[in-house]
């Protein structure tokens, strides 16, 4: 999935096959393999926060959010429950290393009578852990097809595809002993009866018994639920099955487990995280931003591309009055459509975006992100969040728009508001950060840490303010740590390629339209008027009127503003202040649309206005200090 792409490509088909499984079991990988299309996947829970559809033969294949059960404890379970109740068959993806955990959901599906085929995924990692699972015995115990898979390598996918038609459920299960507790006149399917005896309120509301329920009261059928008894019985069935099909060989801790322990210890994890930050800075800020971008701007565009384009346009256009504005729009020295605009996109943005997506992909695939969540949990508690909020924050470094969607995975509405506000305020996106790192590298390492320090202070103060003013309490961190693993080059490269492609698909038209609008404004003199109108604001942060052009670009996308800074002749202090201001400046148009969609109009407006206030407040303070 692209960073800005929604996952609701609807497919018209009579039959539906739903992919269901716990978080981080490789469900999206299985979806991509079965549907033969690319899906963005990462090694941490909560990647899939929405549904995705694709054609699967004559049927519709639907990927669902990761859940541990089909009830109504949260939005993900409610969404999955509705899809499962409508599905003709379910592919239940099970993590072979977590069989004791994942079979609870499997047995719930079978209790509901949902035709199911089990994909026993991550068999390679189970083998590495010394776990041996008798898949044939498991199939006999469950009474449904069980297919061992290693989805990331495509192993077992063909067999899984062939056996989807064999999806089935046992004629009856032991849960039916509780069905007698339901009223005699209840009209419900086996799936609904299962949910009713588990006390599922939405199902109780939907299944009528002709009794009146008072406003705000609990539906009568929900009171018949004996959730703890049913769940306890199901867990014992899981333990019995696992005991009969799984054997484990004792072995020493692997390097990944030892490194994971080091990451989770603040005394060792913090230095490791700082070393990683330094390495990322060197790779992007020095190798890519200084050497590669410098070569492209100076040699490729400075000596070859731009002179050739300038000469070609000048020779092709006639010396007529009407041609003058056209020529200005195409090749003017500030933001010519065929010269500087192309240079910004290809010579500056592209290499930095590729580098950043590559690095983020490694962090995601290795399983570092959830460990950073644990490492940062205590600090985030001080601003009303828990460690899970670190995932949207880090995703926001890739793309703030996508990160706003992933705020669904944090605890409650209050935490989602805080994390969204902080994302919009002080988390630069990858394209912007890549350029900023390049500019800061020219100033020196101390300015890089100064920049990080300013952002952390702003994040802390803004978080404290929101934590003190918003009603409610934060929730504790409850997360599952995925296995640490060596990143898979194929996944990293595919992820980098697809994210870069989607970035260019969005950025090129936007950048082109922005370049034309600014060139027209500049040609007719309107740009000068805007610059003069904004001069009090730019003066507030100690920057010349020309900085207004950067602000106009930043209203469209933050990375455009950063690109606009690359040819500004500022002093060291002015450059630093300018970079802080454009980082804290308003979210890009797409991010604002997503904030409006995920939160509400009032919240979005307050965040937009607040960004102006904070950006120029902090910038003005820095201008005085520096």
Provide the β-strand partners of residue 247: 132
Q: Is 300 marked as binding a ligand?
A: no
Q: Is 265 marked as binding a ligand?
A: no
Q: How far is CA 492 from CA 308, 348, 354, 392, 623, in A?
A: 36, 22, 11, 19, 41
Q: Is 21 marked as binding a ligand?
A: yes
Q: How far is CA 581 from CA 345, 401, 543, 616, 626, in A?
A: 22, 20, 11, 6, 14
Element containing residue 114 per DSSP (H, E): none
| Strand ranges inside 14-130, DSSP E | 15-21, 52-56, 59-63, 89-95, 116-121
Q: What is the CA radius of gyration of the chain?
A: 28
In order, the DSSP letters of 321-344 are: TTHHHHHHHHH-TTT-TTTHHHII
Asked if residue 99 lies in contact with residue 53, where contact means CB atoms within 8 angstroms, the answer is no
Asked if residue 71 lies in contact with residue 84, where contact means CB atoms within 8 angstroms, the answer is no
Asked if residue 626 lies in contact with residue 579, where contact means CB atoms within 8 angstroms, the answer is no
Question: Which tokens sit at 102?
Answer: 């994942």
Q: Is 23 marked as binding a ligand?
A: yes
Question: Which tokens sit at 246?
Answer: 């799984």
Q: Is 3 marked as binding a ligand?
A: no
Q: Is 298 marked as binding a ligand?
A: no
Q: Is 24 marked as binding a ligand?
A: yes
Q: Is 526 marked as binding a ligand?
A: no
Query: Cα(463)–Cα(476) distance, rounded to whole angstroms?
Result: 17
Query: Cα(142)–Cα(145) distance, rounded to whole angstroms?
Result: 8
Q: Is 438 marked as binding a ligand?
A: no
Listed residue (560, 290, 620, 334) closest to 443, CA to CA: 290
Q: Is 121 marked as binding a ligand?
A: yes
Q: Is 124 marked as binding a ligand?
A: yes
Q: Is 64 marked as binding a ligand?
A: yes
Q: How far is CA 32 from CA 18, 19, 544, in A?
A: 13, 11, 51
Q: Is 47 marked as binding a ligand?
A: yes
Largest Cα separation within the chain, whole Å, is 92
| Strand ranges inside 104-203, DSSP E | 116-121, 131-133, 146-148
Asked if residue 41 lies in contact with residue 28, where contact means CB atoms within 8 angstroms, the answer is yes
Q: Is 496 marked as binding a ligand?
A: no
Asked if residue 382 lies in contact with residue 459, where contact means CB atoms within 8 angstroms, the answer is no
Backbone angles phi, psi at 52, to 5 degrees: -130, 140
Q: Is 368 marked as binding a ligand?
A: no
Question: Which tokens sit at 138?
Answer: 């498991």
Binding residues: 21-28, 46-50, 63-66, 121-124
Binding residues for GTP: 21-28, 46-50, 63-66, 121-124
């Amino acid at each position: 999935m692209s960073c800005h792409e929604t996952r609701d490509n609807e497919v018209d088909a009579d039959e539906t096959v739903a992919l269901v499984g716990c978080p981080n079991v490789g469900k999206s990988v299985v979806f991509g393999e079965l549907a033969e299309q690319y899906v963005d996947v990462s090694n941490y829970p909560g990647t899939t926060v929405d549904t995705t559809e694709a054609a699967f033969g004559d049927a519709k294949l639907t990927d669902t959010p990761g859940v541990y059960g089909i009830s109504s404890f949260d939005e993900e379970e409610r969404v999955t429950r509705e899809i499962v109740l409508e599905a003709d068959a379910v592919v239940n993806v099970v993590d072979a290393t977590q069989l004791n955990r994942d079979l609870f959901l499997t047995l719930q599906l079978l209790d509901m009578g949902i035709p199911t085929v089990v994909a026993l995924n991550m068999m390679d990692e189970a083998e590495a852990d010394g776990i041996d699972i008798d898949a044939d015995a498991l199939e006999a115990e469950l009474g449904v097809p069980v297919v061992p898979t290693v989805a990331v390598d495509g192993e077992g996918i063909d067999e899984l595809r062939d056996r989807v038609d064999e999806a089935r459920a046992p004629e009856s299960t032991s849960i039916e002993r509780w069905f007698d507790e339901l009223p005699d006149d209840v009209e419900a399917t086996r799936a609904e009866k299962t949910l009713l005896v588990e006390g599922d309120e939405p199902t109780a509301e939907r299944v009528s018994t002709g009794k009146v329920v008072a406003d705000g009261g609990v539906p009568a059928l929900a009171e018949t639920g004996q959730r703890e008894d049913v769940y306890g019985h199901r867990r014992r069935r899981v333990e019995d099955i696992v005991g009969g099909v799984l054997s484990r060989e004792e072995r020493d801790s692997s390097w990944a487990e030892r490194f994971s322990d080091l990451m989770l210890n603040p005394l060792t994890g913090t230095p490791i995280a700082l070393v990683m930050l330094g390495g990322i800075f060197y790779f992007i800020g020095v190798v890519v931003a200084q050497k590669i971008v410098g070569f492209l701007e100076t040699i490729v565009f400075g000596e070859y591309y731009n002179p050739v384009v300038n000469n070609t346009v000048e020779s092709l256009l006639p010396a007529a009055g009407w041609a003058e504005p056209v020529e200005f729009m195409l090749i003017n020295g500030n933001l010519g459509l065929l010269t500087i605009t192309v240079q910004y996109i290809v010579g500056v943005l592209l290499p930095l975006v590729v580098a950043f997506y590559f690095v983020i992909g490694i962090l995601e695939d290795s399983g570092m992100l959830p460990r950073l969540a644990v490492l940062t949990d205590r600090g985030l508690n001080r601003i009303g969040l828990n460690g899970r909020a670190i995932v949207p924050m880090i995703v926001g470094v890739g793309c703030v728009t996508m990160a706003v969607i992933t705020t669904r995975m944090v605890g409650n509405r209050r935490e989602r508001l805080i994390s969204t506000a902080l994302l919009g305020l002080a988390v630069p996106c990858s394209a912007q950060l890549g350029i900023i790192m390049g500019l800061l590298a020219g100033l020196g390492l101390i300015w890089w840490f100064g920049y990080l320090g300013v952002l952390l202070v702003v994040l802390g103060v803004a978080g404290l303010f929101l934590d003190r003013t918003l009603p409610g309490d934060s929730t504790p961190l409850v997360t599952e740590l995925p296995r640490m693993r060596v990143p898979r080059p194929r996944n990293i490269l595919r992820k980098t390629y697809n994210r870069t492609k989607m970035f260019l698909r969005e950025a090129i038209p936007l950048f082109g339209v922005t370049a034309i609008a600014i060139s027209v404004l500049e040609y007719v003199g309107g740009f000068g008027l805007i610059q003069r109108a904004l001069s009090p604001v730019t003066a507030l942060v100690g920057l010349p009127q020309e900085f207004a052009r950067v602000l106009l670009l930043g209203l469209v996308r933050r990375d455009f503003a950063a690109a606009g800074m690359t040819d500004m002749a500022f002093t060291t202090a002015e450059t630093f202040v300018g970079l802080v201001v454009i980082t804290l400046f308003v979210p890009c148009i797409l991010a604002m649309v997503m904030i409006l969609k995920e939160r509400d109009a009032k919240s979005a407006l307050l965040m937009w206005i607040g960004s102006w206030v904070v950006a120029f407040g902090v910038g003005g303070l820095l201008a005085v200090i520096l």
